[in-house]
Structure 1
Amino acid sequence: MAGQVTGGLARLRHAAGYTQESFVEAFRQEAVRLGVAAAVSVRQLRRWERETPPPLPHPGQQAVLEALFGVPLPEMGFDTPAHRVTVAVPISDAEGVKRRTFVADAGALAAAALLPAAAGPRIGTADLGRLRELLDGLYQTDHTAGSVPAGAEAGRIEQEITRALGSASYTSRVGRELQTMLAELYGHRAWYGYDGGRFTEGRSACMEALAAAQFVDNPLLQVSVLETLVLLAVKADRSWEAASAVEHAYRLASRAGAGPTVHLVIALRDANVATHAGDLSGARRALTRAVTYQGRAASDPEVPNWARFVGPFEVDYATADMYVRAAQPKRAVPFLRAALGSMGGGLARNSASYRVRLADVLLAAGEVDEACAEVNGVLDTLGGIASPRLTGKVRDFKRAAGVVDSPTARACVARIHETV
């Protein structure tokens, strides 16, 4: 009959951080891992938790339940026949029963399954919310103030998360979220390595991020890391690695059922690789795909935080890059102007970087005065942005303009020398 919650199974489920719906999914996944033909519905779970006595799970369900919680069936509140009780004997004992055994007190084992051994402070959902807010704020810091202050803040967040993972108490669900955040932080660190010109450091962070994202089985997080790895591989002139990263990103996105925005980011990296390799036909194909994905992005029901920066301006910028690679700087100019015009607010670092790129192209097209005007506009705001990559671009423009015989160019070079 239906009655009040008996406590055993329900307490274990709550302590592990499962809702009834998420427990059903966790049960399914564990059954797949064990190779057991067993399933449970929310309705049956409610009967297990409320009826007195609860209906006895069949042997397959028992195996999955005991694997999920690490305690024998009686500790979950089930009235279990003697022949179904899992015994506590060494599995190497030839006289023992050859099925899963429990070698510790069931209550202690349950606690060990749910909490780390250290008796540190308790980490709960409120702490996760605060850390998530700090982590998401890194994007804004990077876009507005640059990677240097963002990297410093990321270091502080990483220390807090690793300290919590190592010494705090938390449920398995909270622990998984902490590990996911750590994987995201490694991905941020990879980008900061790229932006700071520390490409070896960035590549190392990519490998850490990929491993961490695999451990938490998050394919879209892996895609975000591969996106940065493409940029690092291109800088290292490892086109084959960059192309492999793009293909793997496509596979992961397809497997995860990702929407058009994620596919747009991958298509843009595909265009980066083809442009760098001088494969202009391949670049056009990738950009055509990017335009298609961009047209569908407005109806995307869910976009990961790392993909929210992308928009039409990225497509225009990549198209301009293709024309520059084809030695047609004048054809690149309108695309760069369009990119700057469509870029939303809050992207100060990107906007400055795009303007320097436009200045480079204008200079190559012989439009010296316009090129210097763009760089002067960047210098007006450069003091509030700490991005080594942006600073490097300005210095590159200084070298290119330094060989131009023009009063405007000489004045611009002198200002760069004083400012940077």
Structure 2
Amino acid sequence: MRELKLQMSRVEFAQAIVEAGRDMGEAVGCTARLVAAWEDGEVLCPRAVYRRILTRMTGRSMSDLGFSVGRPAAPAEPRTEAVGPEMEDLVERRAFLLDSAGATLGLVPPGSRLEGRRARIGAGDVRAVDQVVNDIYTHDHDHGSAALRRQAAKILHTSYQWLQDGSYTQRTGQRLRSATGFLIIAAGWLSYDSGRVADARSLYGEALAAARIAADPGLEGHAFGCLSLLAKASGRPREAISAAQGAQTVARTYGSPRMLALFAMREAGGWALLGDSSATDKAIVRAHTLYAQGPRDADPSWLEFFTPAELAGLEALARADLDQHERAASGAEQAVLLHGNAFARNRALYTADIAIQHAVKDRPEPEAAAEAAGRVLAFLPEVSSDRLLKQLHNVESALQRHAAVPEVADWLEEYRTTTGIS
């Protein structure tokens, strides 16, 4: 399978599997972590749905691809659990029971091992926590955070219980702490997108502590990057810059240029909010240079959102903070176009940015602003995000000055009808 991947990273290969599955009418949530589990031998043979997709993609049998035809075996590390066929079955179910849950609001199916306490914790339990994180992001990208926040908090509580009361090997304990840290960050993101900034800040701080205890530079960099984003959103540019620089320092040896590119773009956002156009440009150039180095196997699965579309969108946000409205509008348009049909919530936010830039620049184009604003309303109610609702309010404020324009007046009426705001 490694040979057939050719130059594709694990992230790209996972995306190819998802697309092939879609063509076959199979809905799967394949991620880089799952591909890594196949390559590293944690799973000796994929589940039936993936066997069908891989066979169609490659024209090879599972044996030809290097997999065992039998049932996946339990991890090889020392375990305190009972062993045997029954335990192997439990490990497989725990590892992949959440594979397609991101398409629904139910992160944890009835009967899942994540529903309660566990006396003994193994590698399969860690993978179950990892999969929850992936499912959170999968659902959040398309539908926003509102429906997931409380469920994520319950699962996080379970993971805390496992760390506190469970029995596990040293290696499993370290992996569980890292997995819990990434779950904390996911919960923090849901809080941020739901408008609970104080909760998000507290959770990101917990994730930073977990990263240092687990000696996990990828998690530590991710936590610093999230703190940078939160600081910028809260109007603290110097803190945003310092946190982004901290993220780059921690992640410099991680082996993921695109992770460094994201953190460089976070730094650019801080400089832009501070009004320093020169420092902003330098950080943006550094981000593009790093991104152009291409994907790596070290790229974490949470970085899947950082596509060329997102790179363009983040630059557009920085241009907007520098009052470079023409470049900001163009960049946001590019971000929406490059996103295609993916990442609905981000597309909605960038489309709202387009509307605002057309409304506030020196020579406003109210008709173009109203057209973009109309596209934003089309995302409701499928996308449920406090940030999107706030951005729609910002669009309304920007368009009020052009209320005499018929297209704008029509949009204002539609906005009030759709949102129930009088």
Mapping 1:255-270, distance limit 5 Å: 256-270=253-267
* DSSP-derived class of the 1:374 partner: helix
CA distance in 2, matches of 1:376, 1:151: 28
- In the other structure, the counterpart of 1:213 is 211
Paired position in structure 2 for 1:291? 288
Structure 2 CA distance for partners of 1:316 and 1:126, relative to 1, 3 Å? closer
Q: Which residue of 2 aligns with 1:339?
A: 335
CA contact (8 A) 2:335 2:347 kept: no
SS at match of 1:289: helix
**Structure 2 match to 1:320:** 316
Q: Tell me, in whole angstroms, the C-alpha distance in 2 between the residues paired with 1:320 and 1:257.
A: 27
Partner of 1:106: none
Q: 1:311 aligns with which of 293, 297, 307?
A: 307
Alignment gaps of 5+ in structure 2: 1-116
- Change in Cα spacing, 1:325 to 1:237, as seen in structure 2 (3 Å) is closer
Residue of structure 1 equivalent to 2:80? none
Q: Which residue of 2 aligns with 1:330?
A: 326
Structure 1 letter corresponding to 2:408: A
Pairwise mapping of residues 60-71 of structure 1 onto structure 2 (< 5 A)?
Answer: none
Kindly provide the CA deviation profile for residues 304-347 of structure 1, in whole angstroms up to 9, marking residues without a partner as x. 12222112223322332343334332232222211111115430
> Residues 346 and 257 of structure 1: is their aligned pair in 2 closer, same or farther, counting only changes over 3 Å?
same
Aligned partner of 2:351 in structure 1 is 355
Structure 2 CA distance, aligned partners of 1:419 and 1:205?
33
| % identical equivalent positions | 28
1:166-205 → structure 2 map (5 Å cutoff): 166-205=164-203
Deviation at 1:251, TM superposition (A): 1.2
3-state secondary structure, aligned to 1:161? helix
Question: Distance between the aligned counterparts of 2:274 and 2:243, measured in 1?
Answer: 15
The AA in structure 1 aligned to 2:203 is: A
Indicate if the aligned counterparts of 1:287 and 1:315 stay in contact, CA closer than 8 A: no
The one-letter code of the counterpart of 2:405 is: S
The one-letter code sitting in structure 1 at the alignment partner of 2:390 is: G
Q: What CA distance in whole angstroms lies between the structure 2 residues aligned with 1:232 and 1:326?
A: 19
Contact 2:134 2:302 in 1 (8 A): no
Distance in 2, Cα, partners of 1:183 & 1:321 = 28
Letter in 2 for 1:316: A
Deviation at 1:204? 1.3
Q: Report what 1:223 is aligned to.
A: 221
Instruction: Give me the whole-angstrom Cα distance separating, in 2, the residues matched to 1:268 and 1:178.
Output: 30
Q: Does 1:157 align with 2:117?
A: no
Q: Give how far 1:120 is off.
A: 5.3
Contact 1:141/1:149 (<8 A) preserved? no
Partners of 2:279 and 2:236 lie apart in 1 by: 17
Equivalent residue, structure 2, for 1:54: none
Whether the 8 Å contact between 2:336 and 2:347 is mirrored in structure 1 is yes
CA RMSD of aligned residues (A): 1.9
| Residue of structure 2 equivalent to 1:276 | 273
- 1:417 aligned onto 2:416: yes
Is 1:387 the equivalent of 2:385?
Answer: yes
Specify the code of the residue in structure 1 equivalent to 2:168: Y
Write the deviation string for residues 341-366 of structure 1: whole angstroms up to 9, x where unpaired.
11154301001111001111112242
User: Is contact 1:138–1:153 with CA below 8 Å preserved after alignment?
Assistant: no
In the alignment, is the contact (CA less than 8 A) between 2:316 and 2:331 conserved in 1?
yes
> Relative to 1, partners in 2 of residues 1:126 and 1:301: Cα closer, same or farther, differing over 3 Å?
closer
CA spacing shift, 1:249–1:406, aligned 2, 3 Å: same
Hey, what does 2:35 align to over in structure 1? none
User: Is the Cα contact below 8 Å between 1:183 and 1:212 reproduced in 2?
Assistant: yes
Task: Give 1:164 shift.
Answer: 2.3
C-alpha distance in structure 1 between counterparts of 2:169 and 2:223, whole Å: 27
* Paired residues of 1:280 and 1:322 also in contact (CA < 8 A): no
CA distance, structure 2, for counterparts of residue 296 and residue 131 of structure 1: 31
Please give the secondary structure, in 2, of the residue aligned with 1:257. Answer: coil
Residue-by-residue CA offset, 1:152-192 (whole Å, 9 max, x unaligned): 33113212212322333322222222221221122123222
1:364 to 2:363 alignment: no
- What is the distance in 1 between the residues matched to 2:303 and 2:248? 14
Alignment match, 1:243: 241
CA contact (8 A) 2:129 2:183 kept: no
User: What is the TM-score when the length of structure 1 is the normalising length?
Assistant: 0.68
Query: CA deviation digits over 1:22-50, x for unaligned, max 9?
Result: xxxxxxxxxxxxxxxxxxxxxxxxxxxxx
Deviation at 1:149, TM superposition (A): 2.1
Q: Residues 327 and 124 from structure 1, CA distance in 2 versus in 1: closer, same or farther, beyond 3 angstroms?
A: closer
Q: Distance in 2 between matches of 1:386 and 1:290?
A: 30
| Inter-CA distance 198–368: structure 2 relative to 1 (3 Å threshold) | same
Q: Aligned equivalents of 1:344 and 1:134: distance in 2?
A: 25
TM-score, L = length of structure 2: 0.67
Q: How many residues align?
A: 300
In structure 2, C-alpha distance between the alignment counterparts of 1:135 and 1:236, rounded to whole Å: 25
Quickly say closer, same or farther: Cα 1:132–1:319, change in 2 above 3 A. closer
Residues in 1 aligned to 2:344 and 2:312: alpha-carbon distance in whole angstroms: 18
Maintained 8 Å contact 1:203/1:229: yes
